[in-house]
Structure 1
Protein backbone atom coordinates (compact mmCIF):
# COMPACT_ATOMS: atom_id res chain seq x y z
CA UNK A 1 0.00 0.00 0.00
CA UNK A 2 2.81 2.40 -0.82
CA UNK A 3 1.49 3.98 -4.02
CA UNK A 4 1.49 7.76 -4.29
CA UNK A 5 -2.21 8.22 -3.54
CA UNK A 6 -2.49 5.65 -0.77
CA UNK A 7 -1.80 7.95 2.20
CA UNK A 8 -5.48 8.21 3.17
CA UNK A 9 -5.86 4.44 2.93
CA UNK A 10 -2.79 3.82 5.08
CA UNK A 11 -4.04 6.35 7.63
CA UNK A 12 -7.51 4.77 7.62
CA UNK A 13 -6.12 1.29 8.32
CA UNK A 14 -3.80 2.58 11.04
CA UNK A 15 -6.66 4.44 12.74
CA UNK A 16 -8.92 1.40 12.47
CA UNK A 17 -6.31 -0.80 14.13
CA UNK A 18 -5.39 1.65 16.91
CA UNK A 19 -8.87 2.97 17.77
CA UNK A 20 -11.20 0.13 16.81
CA UNK A 21 -13.56 2.73 15.37
CA UNK A 22 -16.02 1.86 12.65
CA UNK A 23 -15.48 3.05 9.07
CA UNK A 24 -17.95 5.92 9.34
CA UNK A 25 -16.48 7.06 12.65
CA UNK A 26 -12.96 7.22 11.21
CA UNK A 27 -14.06 9.05 8.07
CA UNK A 28 -15.74 11.72 10.21
CA UNK A 29 -12.67 12.59 12.29
CA UNK A 30 -11.82 16.27 11.89
CA UNK A 31 -8.65 18.07 12.90
CA UNK A 32 -10.49 19.61 15.85
CA UNK A 33 -11.20 16.07 17.15
CA UNK A 34 -7.49 15.37 17.58
CA UNK A 35 -5.38 16.03 20.65
CA UNK A 36 -1.77 15.44 19.74
CA UNK A 37 -0.61 16.24 23.28
CA UNK A 38 -2.73 13.46 24.80
CA UNK A 39 -2.39 11.27 21.70
CA UNK A 40 -6.16 10.91 21.53
CA UNK A 41 -9.06 11.45 19.19
CA UNK A 42 -12.75 12.10 19.81
CA UNK A 43 -14.76 9.67 17.71
CA UNK A 44 -18.43 9.85 16.78
CA UNK A 45 -20.29 6.55 17.10
CA UNK A 46 -22.97 6.64 14.42
CA UNK A 47 -24.39 3.27 15.48
CA UNK A 48 -25.36 4.08 19.05
CA UNK A 49 -28.81 5.45 19.86
CA UNK A 50 -27.65 6.67 23.29
CA UNK A 51 -26.80 10.38 22.99
CA UNK A 52 -24.50 10.12 26.05
CA UNK A 53 -22.32 7.59 24.21
CA UNK A 54 -22.37 9.27 20.79
CA UNK A 55 -18.82 10.58 21.25
CA UNK A 56 -15.99 8.64 22.81
CA UNK A 57 -12.21 8.81 23.07
CA UNK A 58 -9.80 6.69 21.08
CA UNK A 59 -6.05 6.65 21.49
CA UNK A 60 -3.47 7.03 18.75
CA UNK A 61 -0.54 4.73 18.10
CA UNK A 62 2.89 6.19 17.37
CA UNK A 63 2.44 5.17 13.72
CA UNK A 64 -0.93 6.95 13.51
CA UNK A 65 0.64 10.06 15.06
CA UNK A 66 3.48 9.97 12.53
CA UNK A 67 0.98 9.82 9.68
CA UNK A 68 -1.24 12.53 11.17
CA UNK A 69 1.75 14.82 11.67
CA UNK A 70 2.42 14.69 7.93
CA UNK A 71 -0.87 16.48 7.20
CA UNK A 72 -1.82 18.15 10.49
CA UNK A 73 -0.50 21.63 9.68
CA UNK A 74 -2.22 21.65 6.29
CA UNK A 75 -5.67 21.15 7.84
CA UNK A 76 -8.17 23.67 9.17
CA UNK A 77 -10.05 22.72 12.38
CA UNK A 78 -13.15 21.55 10.48
CA UNK A 79 -11.26 19.64 7.77
CA UNK A 80 -11.67 15.88 7.74
CA UNK A 81 -8.49 13.98 8.53
CA UNK A 82 -9.14 11.52 5.71
CA UNK A 83 -10.16 13.21 2.50
CA UNK A 84 -11.75 10.23 0.78
CA UNK A 85 -15.44 9.30 0.70
CA UNK A 86 -16.87 6.16 2.28
CA UNK A 87 -17.32 4.43 -1.10
CA UNK A 88 -13.72 5.06 -2.14
CA UNK A 89 -12.28 3.61 1.06
CA UNK A 90 -14.61 0.62 0.89
CA UNK A 91 -14.00 0.03 -2.83
CA UNK A 92 -10.22 0.06 -2.39
CA UNK A 93 -9.72 -1.54 1.02
CA UNK A 94 -12.15 -4.45 0.57
CA UNK A 95 -10.55 -5.73 -2.66
CA UNK A 96 -7.16 -5.48 -0.93
CA UNK A 97 -8.47 -7.54 2.00
CA UNK A 98 -9.97 -10.03 -0.47
CA UNK A 99 -6.64 -10.41 -2.23
CA UNK A 100 -4.69 -10.82 1.01
CA UNK A 101 -7.07 -12.96 3.07
CA UNK A 102 -10.12 -14.18 1.19
CA UNK A 103 -8.59 -16.09 -1.72
CA UNK A 104 -10.30 -19.46 -2.09
CA UNK A 105 -13.18 -18.66 0.27
CA UNK A 106 -16.73 -19.15 -0.93
CA UNK A 107 -18.61 -15.87 -1.39
CA UNK A 108 -21.07 -16.88 1.33
CA UNK A 109 -18.36 -17.86 3.87
CA UNK A 110 -19.10 -14.96 6.19
CA UNK A 111 -17.58 -16.70 9.21
CA UNK A 112 -14.07 -16.65 7.73
CA UNK A 113 -14.24 -13.69 5.34
CA UNK A 114 -12.11 -10.68 6.26
CA UNK A 115 -13.99 -7.40 5.78
CA UNK A 116 -13.31 -3.81 6.82
CA UNK A 117 -15.18 -4.36 10.10
CA UNK A 118 -12.69 -7.16 10.88
CA UNK A 119 -10.17 -4.41 11.68
CA UNK A 120 -12.42 -3.41 14.60
CA UNK A 121 -12.52 -7.01 15.84
CA UNK A 122 -8.75 -7.24 15.44
CA UNK A 123 -8.30 -4.19 17.69
CA UNK A 124 -10.47 -5.72 20.43
CA UNK A 125 -8.90 -9.16 20.03
CA UNK A 126 -5.39 -7.77 20.39
CA UNK A 127 -6.41 -5.87 23.53
CA UNK A 128 -7.83 -9.07 25.05
CA UNK A 129 -4.78 -11.13 24.09
CA UNK A 130 -2.55 -8.53 25.80
CA UNK A 131 -4.57 -8.91 29.01
CA UNK A 132 -6.57 -5.66 28.86
CA UNK A 133 -9.47 -5.79 31.36
CA UNK A 134 -12.79 -6.52 29.65
CA UNK A 135 -14.36 -3.30 30.98
CA UNK A 136 -11.53 -1.29 29.43
CA UNK A 137 -12.11 -3.03 26.10
CA UNK A 138 -15.83 -2.22 26.42
CA UNK A 139 -14.98 1.45 26.96
CA UNK A 140 -12.48 1.62 24.09
CA UNK A 141 -14.97 -0.06 21.72
CA UNK A 142 -17.80 2.17 22.97
CA UNK A 143 -20.00 -0.89 23.41
CA UNK A 144 -23.33 -0.12 25.03
CA UNK A 145 -23.69 -3.66 26.38
CA UNK A 146 -20.95 -5.72 28.06
CA UNK A 147 -22.29 -8.81 26.28
CA UNK A 148 -20.93 -7.45 22.99
CA UNK A 149 -17.49 -7.24 24.57
CA UNK A 150 -17.54 -10.60 26.32
CA UNK A 151 -16.91 -12.42 23.02
CA UNK A 152 -13.29 -11.27 23.38
CA UNK A 153 -12.88 -12.59 26.95
CA UNK A 154 -11.98 -16.07 25.71
CA UNK A 155 -8.88 -14.58 24.07
CA UNK A 156 -7.50 -13.20 27.34
CA UNK A 157 -4.49 -14.97 28.82
CA UNK A 158 -4.93 -16.85 32.07
CA UNK A 159 -5.56 -13.52 33.78
CA UNK A 160 -6.88 -14.91 37.05
CA UNK A 161 -3.78 -16.97 37.78
CA UNK A 162 -1.51 -13.95 38.32
CA UNK A 163 -4.12 -12.24 40.48
CA UNK A 164 -4.47 -15.27 42.77
CA UNK A 165 -0.69 -15.60 43.13
CA UNK A 166 -0.46 -11.94 44.19
CA UNK A 167 -3.42 -12.20 46.56
CA UNK A 168 -1.53 -13.13 49.74
CA UNK A 169 2.01 -12.07 48.90
Structure 2
Protein backbone atom coordinates (compact mmCIF):
# COMPACT_ATOMS: atom_id res chain seq x y z
CA UNK A 1 0.00 0.00 0.00
CA UNK A 2 1.47 3.39 -0.94
CA UNK A 3 2.51 5.92 1.68
CA UNK A 4 0.00 8.74 1.98
CA UNK A 5 1.99 11.87 1.18
CA UNK A 6 -0.71 13.90 -0.54
CA UNK A 7 -2.28 17.04 0.87
CA UNK A 8 -5.74 17.43 2.25
CA UNK A 9 -6.99 19.12 -0.88
CA UNK A 10 -8.23 22.25 0.86
CA UNK A 11 -7.20 25.32 -1.12
CA UNK A 12 -9.12 28.34 0.12
CA UNK A 13 -8.96 31.87 -1.27
CA UNK A 14 -7.08 34.31 0.88
CA UNK A 15 -9.39 36.08 3.35
CA UNK A 16 -9.46 39.82 4.00
CA UNK A 17 -7.72 39.34 7.33
CA UNK A 18 -4.56 37.71 5.96
CA UNK A 19 -4.09 39.46 2.61
CA UNK A 20 -0.73 41.13 2.27
CA UNK A 21 -2.05 43.68 -0.21
CA UNK A 22 -5.34 45.52 0.07
CA UNK A 23 -7.54 45.24 -3.02
CA UNK A 24 -10.03 47.91 -1.92
CA UNK A 25 -8.57 51.41 -1.70
CA UNK A 26 -9.86 54.97 -1.36
CA UNK A 27 -9.35 57.37 -4.25
CA UNK A 28 -8.50 61.03 -3.78
CA UNK A 29 -11.92 62.12 -4.99
CA UNK A 30 -13.73 60.38 -2.14
CA UNK A 31 -14.65 57.31 -4.17
CA UNK A 32 -13.37 53.74 -3.80
CA UNK A 33 -11.67 51.43 -6.24
CA UNK A 34 -11.00 47.68 -6.45
CA UNK A 35 -7.91 46.12 -7.98
CA UNK A 36 -7.68 42.31 -8.06
CA UNK A 37 -4.57 40.57 -9.36
CA UNK A 38 -4.50 36.90 -8.42
CA UNK A 39 -3.07 33.89 -10.16
CA UNK A 40 -5.72 31.83 -11.91
CA UNK A 41 -8.27 34.59 -12.46
CA UNK A 42 -8.52 37.55 -14.85
CA UNK A 43 -7.02 40.78 -13.55
CA UNK A 44 -9.54 43.54 -12.95
CA UNK A 45 -9.50 47.17 -11.85
CA UNK A 46 -12.72 49.01 -11.15
CA UNK A 47 -13.24 52.44 -9.62
CA UNK A 48 -16.00 54.91 -8.93
CA UNK A 49 -17.66 53.12 -6.00
CA UNK A 50 -19.47 55.61 -3.77
CA UNK A 51 -18.82 53.70 -0.55
CA UNK A 52 -16.30 51.17 0.74
CA UNK A 53 -19.14 48.69 1.29
CA UNK A 54 -20.04 48.79 -2.41
CA UNK A 55 -16.41 48.19 -3.40
CA UNK A 56 -16.08 45.24 -1.02
CA UNK A 57 -19.35 43.76 -2.30
CA UNK A 58 -18.00 43.91 -5.84
CA UNK A 59 -14.77 42.27 -4.66
CA UNK A 60 -16.61 39.41 -2.93
CA UNK A 61 -18.81 38.74 -5.93
CA UNK A 62 -15.84 38.78 -8.29
CA UNK A 63 -13.84 36.37 -6.13
CA UNK A 64 -16.84 34.04 -5.81
CA UNK A 65 -17.34 34.06 -9.58
CA UNK A 66 -13.73 33.04 -10.23
CA UNK A 67 -13.19 30.91 -7.13
CA UNK A 68 -12.85 27.60 -9.00
CA UNK A 69 -10.18 28.84 -11.40
CA UNK A 70 -8.34 30.49 -8.51
CA UNK A 71 -8.34 27.34 -6.38
CA UNK A 72 -7.32 25.26 -9.39
CA UNK A 73 -4.32 27.52 -9.99
CA UNK A 74 -3.48 27.33 -6.27
CA UNK A 75 -3.53 23.50 -6.26
CA UNK A 76 0.11 22.52 -6.76
CA UNK A 77 -0.26 18.79 -6.19
CA UNK A 78 1.38 16.64 -8.83
CA UNK A 79 -0.36 14.03 -10.92
CA UNK A 80 1.30 11.30 -8.88
CA UNK A 81 -0.05 12.79 -5.64
CA UNK A 82 -3.60 12.76 -7.03
CA UNK A 83 -3.18 9.18 -8.20
CA UNK A 84 -2.08 8.15 -4.71
CA UNK A 85 -5.07 9.98 -3.24
CA UNK A 86 -7.42 8.23 -5.69
CA UNK A 87 -5.95 4.83 -4.78
CA UNK A 88 -6.39 5.33 -1.03
CA UNK A 89 -9.87 6.84 -1.27
CA UNK A 90 -11.28 4.59 -4.00
CA UNK A 91 -8.92 2.46 -6.10
CA UNK A 92 -7.92 0.12 -3.30
CA UNK A 93 -11.51 -1.13 -3.18
CA UNK A 94 -11.62 -2.07 -6.87
CA UNK A 95 -11.06 -5.64 -8.01
CA UNK A 96 -8.32 -4.48 -10.38
CA UNK A 97 -7.26 -1.52 -8.23
CA UNK A 98 -3.61 -2.55 -7.85
CA UNK A 99 -3.20 -3.09 -11.58
CA UNK A 100 -4.80 0.28 -12.38
CA UNK A 101 -2.60 1.92 -9.76
CA UNK A 102 0.57 0.59 -11.43
CA UNK A 103 -0.61 1.72 -14.87
CA UNK A 104 -1.54 5.19 -13.61
CA UNK A 105 1.81 5.67 -11.90
CA UNK A 106 3.58 4.76 -15.13
CA UNK A 107 1.37 7.26 -16.96
CA UNK A 108 2.46 9.93 -14.48
CA UNK A 109 6.10 9.11 -15.25
CA UNK A 110 5.49 9.19 -19.01
CA UNK A 111 3.75 12.56 -18.68
CA UNK A 112 6.72 13.82 -16.60
CA UNK A 113 4.52 14.09 -13.49
CA UNK A 114 3.08 17.57 -14.11
CA UNK A 115 1.10 19.71 -11.69
CA UNK A 116 -2.21 17.87 -12.03
CA UNK A 117 -4.34 21.01 -12.22
CA UNK A 118 -2.21 22.27 -15.10
CA UNK A 119 -2.32 19.11 -17.23
CA UNK A 120 -3.68 20.10 -20.63
CA UNK A 121 -5.58 18.19 -23.29
CA UNK A 122 -2.72 18.85 -25.71
CA UNK A 123 -0.21 17.22 -23.35
CA UNK A 124 -2.36 14.12 -23.07
CA UNK A 125 -3.02 13.84 -26.81
CA UNK A 126 0.71 14.16 -27.52
CA UNK A 127 1.42 11.47 -24.90
CA UNK A 128 -1.15 9.24 -26.57
CA UNK A 129 0.38 9.79 -29.99
CA UNK A 130 3.91 9.01 -28.78
CA UNK A 131 2.80 5.87 -27.00
CA UNK A 132 0.84 4.52 -29.95
CA UNK A 133 3.12 5.42 -32.84
CA UNK A 134 6.62 6.03 -31.49
CA UNK A 135 7.25 4.00 -28.35
CA UNK A 136 5.38 0.87 -27.36
CA UNK A 137 2.94 0.87 -30.30
CA UNK A 138 0.05 -0.14 -28.07
CA UNK A 139 -3.36 -0.71 -29.63
CA UNK A 140 -6.25 1.76 -29.56
CA UNK A 141 -8.27 -0.29 -27.09
CA UNK A 142 -5.42 -0.36 -24.58
CA UNK A 143 -4.96 3.39 -25.00
CA UNK A 144 -8.66 3.99 -24.43
CA UNK A 145 -8.45 1.91 -21.24
CA UNK A 146 -5.60 4.07 -19.94
CA UNK A 147 -7.45 7.21 -20.96
CA UNK A 148 -10.47 6.01 -19.01
CA UNK A 149 -8.39 5.20 -15.94
CA UNK A 150 -6.88 8.69 -15.83
CA UNK A 151 -10.21 10.42 -16.45
CA UNK A 152 -11.72 8.33 -13.64
CA UNK A 153 -9.08 9.63 -11.22
CA UNK A 154 -10.15 13.24 -11.78
CA UNK A 155 -13.87 12.42 -11.85
CA UNK A 156 -13.74 10.39 -8.63
CA UNK A 157 -11.65 12.96 -6.74
CA UNK A 158 -13.96 15.72 -7.91
CA UNK A 159 -16.94 13.74 -6.66
CA UNK A 160 -15.19 13.29 -3.30
CA UNK A 161 -14.46 17.08 -3.15
CA UNK A 162 -10.71 16.44 -3.11
CA UNK A 163 -10.47 18.66 -6.18
CA UNK A 164 -13.07 21.09 -7.51
CA UNK A 165 -12.17 21.26 -11.19
CA UNK A 166 -12.74 19.21 -14.31
CA UNK A 167 -9.53 18.12 -16.01
CA UNK A 168 -9.24 18.72 -19.78
CA UNK A 169 -8.29 15.04 -20.05
CA UNK A 170 -11.92 14.17 -19.32
CA UNK A 171 -13.03 16.16 -22.35
CA UNK A 172 -10.69 14.48 -24.85
CA UNK A 173 -12.59 12.13 -27.16
CA UNK A 174 -11.75 8.45 -26.94
CA UNK A 175 -10.33 6.81 -30.04
CA UNK A 176 -12.93 5.26 -32.32
CA UNK A 177 -12.33 1.54 -32.73
CA UNK A 178 -13.67 -0.60 -35.53
CA UNK A 179 -16.08 -3.00 -33.89
CA UNK A 180 -15.37 -6.63 -34.66
CA UNK A 181 -17.18 -9.84 -34.02
CA UNK A 182 -15.89 -11.63 -30.93
CA UNK A 183 -13.88 -14.73 -31.75
CA UNK A 184 -15.02 -18.16 -30.60
CA UNK A 185 -14.10 -21.79 -31.23
CA UNK A 186 -16.22 -24.26 -33.16
CA UNK A 187 -17.03 -27.62 -31.56
CA UNK A 188 -14.30 -29.30 -33.60
CA UNK A 189 -11.75 -26.74 -32.43
CA UNK A 190 -12.86 -27.21 -28.84
CA UNK A 191 -12.39 -30.97 -29.18
CA UNK A 192 -8.93 -30.41 -30.64
CA UNK A 193 -7.95 -28.15 -27.74
CA UNK A 194 -9.24 -30.56 -25.09
CA UNK A 195 -7.51 -33.53 -26.71
CA UNK A 196 -4.22 -31.62 -26.89
CA UNK A 197 -4.50 -30.77 -23.20
CA UNK A 198 -5.34 -34.37 -22.33
CA UNK A 199 -2.39 -35.79 -24.26
CA UNK A 200 0.34 -33.28 -23.51
CA UNK A 201 -0.49 -31.52 -20.26
CA UNK A 202 1.28 -32.75 -17.15
CA UNK A 203 -1.43 -31.25 -14.97
CA UNK A 204 -4.85 -32.86 -15.22
CA UNK A 205 -6.24 -29.79 -13.47
CA UNK A 206 -5.78 -27.88 -16.75
CA UNK A 207 -8.32 -30.10 -18.50
CA UNK A 208 -10.88 -29.64 -15.72
CA UNK A 209 -10.49 -25.85 -15.54
CA UNK A 210 -10.85 -25.62 -19.32
CA UNK A 211 -13.98 -27.74 -19.22
CA UNK A 212 -15.53 -25.57 -16.50
CA UNK A 213 -14.84 -22.38 -18.48
CA UNK A 214 -16.45 -23.89 -21.58
CA UNK A 215 -19.46 -25.23 -19.67
CA UNK A 216 -20.21 -22.18 -17.49
CA UNK A 217 -18.64 -19.16 -19.21
CA UNK A 218 -16.41 -18.59 -16.20
CA UNK A 219 -13.25 -16.53 -16.40
CA UNK A 220 -10.11 -18.63 -16.04
CA UNK A 221 -9.22 -17.16 -12.63
CA UNK A 222 -12.72 -17.88 -11.32
CA UNK A 223 -12.53 -21.55 -12.31
CA UNK A 224 -8.88 -22.04 -11.37
CA UNK A 225 -9.41 -20.75 -7.81
CA UNK A 226 -12.54 -22.78 -7.06
CA UNK A 227 -12.82 -24.22 -3.57
CA UNK A 228 -14.53 -27.47 -2.62
CA UNK A 229 -17.47 -25.69 -1.00
CA UNK A 230 -18.29 -23.90 -4.27
CA UNK A 231 -19.15 -27.17 -6.03
CA UNK A 232 -22.46 -28.37 -4.64
CA UNK A 233 -25.91 -29.72 -5.57
CA UNK A 234 -25.16 -30.03 -9.27
CA UNK A 235 -23.89 -26.48 -9.69
CA UNK A 236 -20.94 -24.19 -9.16
CA UNK A 237 -21.07 -20.92 -7.22
CA UNK A 238 -18.42 -18.43 -8.30
CA UNK A 239 -17.04 -16.05 -5.66
CA UNK A 240 -14.68 -13.06 -5.83
CA UNK A 241 -15.84 -12.23 -9.32
CA UNK A 242 -15.05 -9.08 -11.29
CA UNK A 243 -18.41 -7.58 -10.31
CA UNK A 244 -17.88 -8.68 -6.68
CA UNK A 245 -21.18 -10.56 -6.80
CA UNK A 246 -21.56 -14.32 -6.49
CA UNK A 247 -23.29 -16.21 -9.27
CA UNK A 248 -24.37 -19.83 -9.52
CA UNK A 249 -24.37 -21.87 -12.72
CA UNK A 250 -25.76 -25.44 -13.03
CA UNK A 251 -23.74 -28.24 -14.61
CA UNK A 252 -24.58 -31.28 -16.68
CA UNK A 253 -25.30 -34.04 -14.11
CA UNK A 254 -22.78 -36.48 -15.62
CA UNK A 255 -20.02 -33.88 -15.68
CA UNK A 256 -20.88 -32.70 -12.16
CA UNK A 257 -20.65 -36.26 -10.84
CA UNK A 258 -17.23 -36.70 -12.45
CA UNK A 259 -16.05 -33.35 -11.05
CA UNK A 260 -17.40 -34.24 -7.63
CA UNK A 261 -15.48 -37.50 -7.73
CA UNK A 262 -12.31 -35.67 -8.83
CA UNK A 263 -12.67 -33.23 -5.93
CA UNK A 264 -12.79 -36.19 -3.55
CA UNK A 265 -12.86 -35.55 0.16
CA UNK A 266 -11.21 -32.15 0.23
CA UNK A 267 -12.12 -29.76 3.03
CA UNK A 268 -14.63 -26.99 2.17
CA UNK A 269 -11.97 -24.26 1.93
CA UNK A 270 -9.43 -26.35 0.02
CA UNK A 271 -8.77 -25.38 -3.59
CA UNK A 272 -9.77 -27.93 -6.21
CA UNK A 273 -7.04 -27.05 -8.70
CA UNK A 274 -3.49 -25.78 -8.74
CA UNK A 275 -2.38 -22.77 -10.80
CA UNK A 276 -2.28 -24.08 -14.37
CA UNK A 277 -2.52 -21.08 -16.69
CA UNK A 278 1.01 -21.68 -17.95
CA UNK A 279 0.20 -25.29 -18.80
CA UNK A 280 -2.88 -24.16 -20.70
CA UNK A 281 -0.90 -21.64 -22.75
CA UNK A 282 1.66 -24.26 -23.73
CA UNK A 283 -1.10 -26.67 -24.73
CA UNK A 284 -2.86 -23.91 -26.68
CA UNK A 285 0.32 -23.24 -28.63
CA UNK A 286 0.80 -26.94 -29.32
CA UNK A 287 -2.78 -27.24 -30.59
CA UNK A 288 -1.93 -24.81 -33.45
CA UNK A 289 -5.36 -23.17 -33.09
CA UNK A 290 -5.60 -19.46 -33.89
CA UNK A 291 -6.04 -17.71 -30.57
CA UNK A 292 -6.94 -13.99 -30.78
CA UNK A 293 -4.32 -11.64 -29.38
CA UNK A 294 -4.67 -11.29 -25.64
CA UNK A 295 -7.44 -13.92 -25.40
CA UNK A 296 -5.51 -17.08 -24.56
CA UNK A 297 -8.13 -18.09 -21.98
CA UNK A 298 -10.90 -15.54 -22.53
CA UNK A 299 -11.86 -17.17 -25.82
CA UNK A 300 -13.25 -20.04 -23.72
CA UNK A 301 -15.74 -17.60 -22.18
CA UNK A 302 -16.55 -16.16 -25.62
CA UNK A 303 -17.04 -19.67 -26.98
CA UNK A 304 -19.52 -20.54 -24.23
CA UNK A 305 -21.52 -17.35 -24.79
CA UNK A 306 -21.48 -17.66 -28.59
CA UNK A 307 -22.70 -21.25 -28.64
CA UNK A 308 -25.27 -20.44 -25.95
CA UNK A 309 -26.85 -17.79 -28.17
CA UNK A 310 -26.52 -19.78 -31.41
CA UNK A 311 -28.36 -22.65 -29.74
CA UNK A 312 -31.29 -20.37 -28.91
CA UNK A 313 -30.32 -19.17 -25.45
CA UNK A 314 -31.92 -16.06 -23.98
CA UNK A 315 -29.78 -12.92 -23.75
CA UNK A 316 -31.07 -12.02 -20.27
CA UNK A 317 -30.23 -15.51 -19.03
CA UNK A 318 -26.77 -15.19 -20.55
CA UNK A 319 -26.26 -11.88 -18.77
CA UNK A 320 -26.90 -13.57 -15.41
CA UNK A 321 -24.69 -16.55 -16.25
CA UNK A 322 -21.77 -14.35 -17.29
CA UNK A 323 -22.31 -11.88 -14.46
CA UNK A 324 -22.43 -8.79 -16.68
CA UNK A 325 -23.61 -5.71 -14.79
CA UNK A 326 -24.43 -3.96 -18.07
CA UNK A 327 -26.65 -5.69 -20.66
CA UNK A 328 -24.72 -3.92 -23.43
CA UNK A 329 -21.78 -6.24 -22.72
CA UNK A 330 -23.99 -9.27 -23.29
CA UNK A 331 -25.57 -7.78 -26.42
CA UNK A 332 -22.26 -8.29 -28.21
CA UNK A 333 -23.43 -11.87 -28.76
CA UNK A 334 -26.97 -11.02 -29.87
CA UNK A 335 -26.17 -11.16 -33.58
CA UNK A 336 -25.51 -14.89 -33.25
CA UNK A 337 -29.12 -15.64 -32.30
CA UNK A 338 -30.96 -17.74 -34.93
CA UNK A 339 -33.72 -15.13 -35.31
CA UNK A 340 -31.54 -12.02 -34.97
CA UNK A 341 -33.02 -9.25 -37.18
CA UNK A 342 -34.83 -11.84 -39.30
CA UNK A 343 -37.30 -9.10 -40.29
CA UNK A 344 -34.59 -7.89 -42.68
CA UNK A 345 -35.53 -10.86 -44.85
CA UNK A 346 -39.28 -10.40 -44.56
CA UNK A 347 -39.54 -6.62 -44.78
CA UNK A 348 -36.94 -5.57 -47.34
CA UNK A 349 -38.24 -3.99 -50.63
CA UNK A 350 -37.45 -7.15 -52.59
CA UNK A 351 -39.14 -9.58 -50.21
CA UNK A 352 -42.08 -10.23 -52.57
CA UNK A 353 -39.97 -10.37 -55.70
CA UNK A 354 -39.61 -13.43 -57.88
CA UNK A 355 -36.20 -12.29 -59.17
CA UNK A 356 -34.13 -14.04 -56.53
CA UNK A 357 -32.18 -15.90 -59.21
CA UNK A 358 -29.81 -13.51 -61.04
CA UNK A 359 -29.90 -15.68 -64.18
CA UNK A 360 -33.66 -15.67 -64.45
CA UNK A 361 -35.06 -13.31 -67.10
CA UNK A 362 -31.65 -12.26 -68.42
CA UNK A 363 -31.35 -12.50 -72.18
CA UNK A 364 -28.56 -14.57 -73.68
CA UNK A 365 -28.37 -12.26 -76.67
CA UNK A 366 -25.01 -10.67 -77.39
Higher relative contact order (CA 8 A, sep 6+): 1
The within-5 A match list for 1:1-169 is: 1-2=198-199, 5-36=202-233, 39-48=234-243, 51=244, 54-62=245-253, 64-82=255-273, 84-85=274-275, 89-102=276-289, 110=293, 115-158=296-339
- How many residues get paired? 145
**So what's the TM-score if we normalise by structure 2?**
0.36
Once the two structures are TM-superposed, the CA of residue 158 in structure 1 deviates from its matched residue by 1.5
Q: Which runs of 5+ in 2 are unaligned?
A: 1-197, 343-366
Moved over 3 A (4+): 2-6
In structure 2, distance between residues paired with 1:119 and 1:158: 24
Q: Secondary structure at the match of 2:247?
A: strand
**So what's the TM-score if we normalise by structure 1?**
0.74
Q: Which runs of 5+ in 1 are unaligned?
A: 162-169
In structure 2, distance between residues paired with 1:114 and 1:73: 32
Say what the alpha-carbon RMSD is for the aligned residues: 2.5
Alignment deviations for residues 57-107 of structure 1 (CA, whole Å, 9 cap, x no partner): 12223453243133233211111111x12xxx221111222232446x8xx
| Structure with the greater alpha carbon radius of gyration | 2
Conservation of the 8 A alpha-carbon contact between 2:201 and 2:279? no
